[in-house]
Chain A
């Protein structure tokens, strides 16, 4: 059996057709009936489907046979396609022997593809290059094969040409998977060791953990021990993952499946955890267990303070199926009680915000996202600061450091100018560029993480007309000359608007923030000064003039409905605003401080 199992994943840039290819494989192997088939089956969350991206990984088992009639079991392990979730990607890769590297024939190799390929190579996976979308009129197969050779260093002769959309080449791809990807090589007689690569929360069954059997076999009638966290559970159910869960008694060595064991929260069974049996435990953990660290921080407040308890409940529920989400209670002078949250990246932040608003009906204010600063005090103490309001008094600070990243941008060479300008504007250092294809360039640069947490992707997309792709890995901390800019609205400091900013840019930043707030805050009955300050000195100011009247002159005859509906619309709109002192601040204003254009 073991020799006929193939575990593989698909690596692809967003939009290069990963989900379509996965769906096509499911369909061709008969794992899903025509009636069940709908596009992008593997992405189950609404948000994923809408944005065409995969956030959570999951797995699916397929059965097929090769041209010689030999039967095979194929386990496809899906991976998140976004840089924010690179930790989850590496856990999924560790559970595979092979990877399909999908490249869009019309768009060529992208930065994220390269980054994930390197991760796959580190895990010694067999890589099968797949050139997708060959049915498109704009497909340039030769150029794509050239890039696979030159840019990725893979043998282009081994590439399989497919169209996931039409199904062309998919049979050849299945044959290549069975022939070229090696079978699992674990020891079936050793004590059980299974690696968790993902888990989800099911309101009826508790946590469902997805794992790969590395050593030994998994039996359904055992007590298990989660080695890293040290908890024991009685197995309720194990099985294979299909479009539905397919219960079984035993998962052989090398197999991929799911487990239900009355586990209450996904935080109890993190990606990378090692499962063994209580009666015959393994000696050592599988390598690769590490906690995903939050890199972006923001505070969430309910628009209406009365909703704080509802928000607490919603956050706790969200935490049940999002182990990466970390949060703690905060109290803001202007905004009341809320949560300081850590996220894996901006996309993660947006996903959490959307889920809170959509699934839990919350109306939220989010403060400007910030990174984790390292501050050495004059007494030698080192502190990590994730909230500008906790930034120590400058007289007590010996050194402030900020997190840096190694960024890589790949784009057609005609965009070198605007991309370079953008990167330098974002404080990029150690700039280098190389041609990776005939007309495509990769720029590498070190830059502060803080420079990409807001609108960087959007700006990059806009200056490259969508052709630029971006990836990064975290690098060391570097000293930064930072200052906290405070914003005073109507002479009151709004703590939720404070930001840590590079000192040389503070004045410009404060001016822009004041102007943005002037645009975003509606005029009120009194004039509202808006000031940007550092340590009490004003470095920028503007004023929202007072509204001198607020009435429509005429009632249109007997049309009272029109007046009433206008009032009801305004009333609904005000529910999206937060009262800070006497001033109504709309939800969007809290992020407007960061707007650059």
Chain B
């Protein structure tokens, strides 16, 4: 593990109830979460002990991380090294029943909060299986702001079954009334095995595409920077540093069940099962399920799979480091990307075709490389 490990992700696998679209690794919260808390602390300790890691970012995700006590988070942030940390984020669910003590989270060291609003329309909130109403979401946002958070991100979903571009526009307008520093707007992805995924419920491709462009146009007109297919920042400094590290292949450690880690040359991931996760740590072992060393070709594929999704783009020099040349002419002809020096940068339309661009580029790769 390198010393300059940028990110730490902590997966809190509990929710009050499971949303009908969610394929993340989460279960209904047990009465006693102390076993998980000690397992997470233990994993962080094992992974960082003797490694002198300096984290730039800390991201508490899930699940619903606010279901674990603020004191636990305070301890974990402290362990991660509060001097070096610049961005410390926690996700929250705006259901009033969760009764989150936002002030305590601020004191625990969090300086950024990501609020899973999803929609300001009760009809769609019900459809998604969210436990909160539009009014509760608004109340939570007000509370969060009043408690002192100055870097707030709002999560929205669109492409919901029955949703029209007008419905979506209303959601975006409501969101803007809170002037959040960051907005994530996700097109609903149907995941097999989830109730919505199995029913195949989603808005038409035309509507989804219209909603994407509408979000882009409306938010950029209001001063936001569209820097990743689903991410908007009010200023450069409000880009999500942590998420960007995933997209730019900067090393990170993930702790918790099913969390992924990246050393710069190898990826590994933890077991899914909560009981296996906890028992591995109790036996003094890291709960790693599997890992893979990346070949140069794997690395090049990652660069392509990630690069066209965000405005950092694909760096031809970075591909060259892995022994690959890429003649970008055919890609430039699509009109979806532009070239600045050795960077290939997608525009908003280009990011919408990121998978297409990655596939096309992967076929154009040439060069001598180690496989």
Report which A residues bind B (CB closer than 8 A): 525, 547-561, 563-564, 566-568, 570-571, 574
Which B residues touch A568, using CB under 8 A?
A: 301, 362
Bound: A552/B351 CA distance, A: 10
Q: Smallest distance from the beta carbon of B364 to chain A beta carbons, Å?
A: 11
Interface size on B, residues (CB 8 A): 46
Q: Smallest distance from the beta carbon of A564 to chain B beta carbons, Å?
A: 5
In the bound complex, do residue B352 and residue A567 qualify as a contact, i.e. CB atoms below 8 Å apart?
Answer: no
| 16 A–B contacts, CB within 8 A, in A order | A525-B353, A549-B208, A549-B352, A553-B186, A553-B188, A554-B189, A556-B24, A559-B260, A560-B249, A560-B267, A563-B302, A563-B305, A566-B305, A568-B301, A571-B301, A574-B363
Q: Smallest distance from the beta carbon of A124 to chain B beta carbons, Å?
A: 63
Task: Name B303's closest neighbour in chain A (CB-CB).
Answer: A564
In the bound complex, do residue A567 and residue B262 qualify as a contact, i.e. CB atoms below 8 Å apart?
Answer: no
Which B residues touch A525, using CB under 8 A?
A: 334, 353, 356
Bound: A554/B9 CA distance, A: 17
Nearest first, the 8 A-B pairs at minimum CB distance are A558-B260, A553-B187, A548-B209, A550-B356, A551-B354, A549-B352, A563-B305, A553-B186
In the bound complex, do residue A550 and residue B355 qualify as a contact, i.e. CB atoms below 8 Å apart?
Answer: yes
Q: Smallest distance from the beta carbon of B131 to chain A beta carbons, Å?
A: 21
Which B residues touch A574, using CB under 8 A?
A: 359, 363
Q: Smallest distance from the beta carbon of B252 to chain A beta carbons, Å?
A: 6
Which A residues touch B189, using CB under 8 A?
A: 552-554
In the bound complex, do residue B362 and residue A553 qualify as a contact, i.e. CB atoms below 8 Å apart?
Answer: no
Which A residues touch B209, using CB under 8 A?
A: 548-549
Which B residues touch A548, using CB under 8 A?
A: 205-206, 209, 352
In the bound complex, do residue B359 and residue A567 qualify as a contact, i.e. CB atoms below 8 Å apart?
Answer: yes
Task: Name A524's closest neighbour in chain B (CB-CB).
Answer: B356
Interface assignment of B66: CB less than 8 Å from any CB of chain A: no
If A548-B206, A559-B269 touch, does A571 touch B355 (CB 8 Å cutoff)? no
In the bound complex, do residue A551 and residue B352 qualify as a contact, i.e. CB atoms below 8 Å apart?
Answer: yes
Given contacts A571-B301, A571-B362, 16 further A-B contacts (CB under 8 A): A548-B206, A549-B205, A551-B356, A552-B189, A553-B186, A553-B187, A559-B269, A560-B267, A561-B260, A563-B306, A566-B355, A567-B304, A567-B355, A568-B362, A570-B355, A570-B359
Q: Smallest distance from the beta carbon of A579 to chain B beta carbons, Å?
A: 10
Task: Name B245's closest neighbour in chain A (CB-CB).
Answer: A558
Q: Smallest distance from the beta carbon of A303 to chain B beta carbons, Å?
A: 13
Interface assignment of B234: CB less than 8 Å from any CB of chain A: no
Q: Smallest distance from the beta carbon of A264 to chain B beta carbons, Å?
A: 39
In the bound complex, do residue A561 and residue B353 qualify as a contact, i.e. CB atoms below 8 Å apart?
Answer: no
Bound: A557/B243 CA distance, A: 8
In the bound complex, do residue A567 and residue B247 qualify as a contact, i.e. CB atoms below 8 Å apart?
Answer: no
User: Among A525, A553, A567, A574, which residue has the most Cβ atoms of chain B within 10 A?
Assistant: A553
Q: Smallest distance from the beta carbon of A211 to chain B beta carbons, Å?
A: 50
Interface assignment of B287: CB less than 8 Å from any CB of chain A: no
Which A residues touch B230, using CB under 8 A?
A: 553-554
Interface assignment of B61: CB less than 8 Å from any CB of chain A: yes
In the bound complex, do residue A555 and residue B363 qualify as a contact, i.e. CB atoms below 8 Å apart?
Answer: no
In the bound complex, do residue B269 and residue A561 qualify as a contact, i.e. CB atoms below 8 Å apart?
Answer: yes
In the bound complex, do residue A567 and residue B356 qualify as a contact, i.e. CB atoms below 8 Å apart?
Answer: no
Task: Name B158's closest neighbour in chain A (CB-CB).
Answer: A553
Which B residues touch A552, using CB under 8 A?
A: 189, 355
Which A residues touch B249, using CB under 8 A?
A: 560
Contact pattern, B 238-278, Cβ under 8 Å of A = 1, otherwise 0: 00000100110100101000011110000101000000000
Bound: A447/B179 CA distance, A: 76
In the bound complex, do residue B363 and residue A551 qualify as a contact, i.e. CB atoms below 8 Å apart?
Answer: no
In the bound complex, do residue A567 and residue B269 qualify as a contact, i.e. CB atoms below 8 Å apart?
Answer: no
In the bound complex, do residue B301 and residue A564 qualify as a contact, i.e. CB atoms below 8 Å apart?
Answer: yes
Which B residues touch A553, using CB under 8 A?
A: 186-189, 229-230
Q: Which residue of A557, A559, A571 contacts B363 across the interface (Cβ within 8 Å)?
A: A571
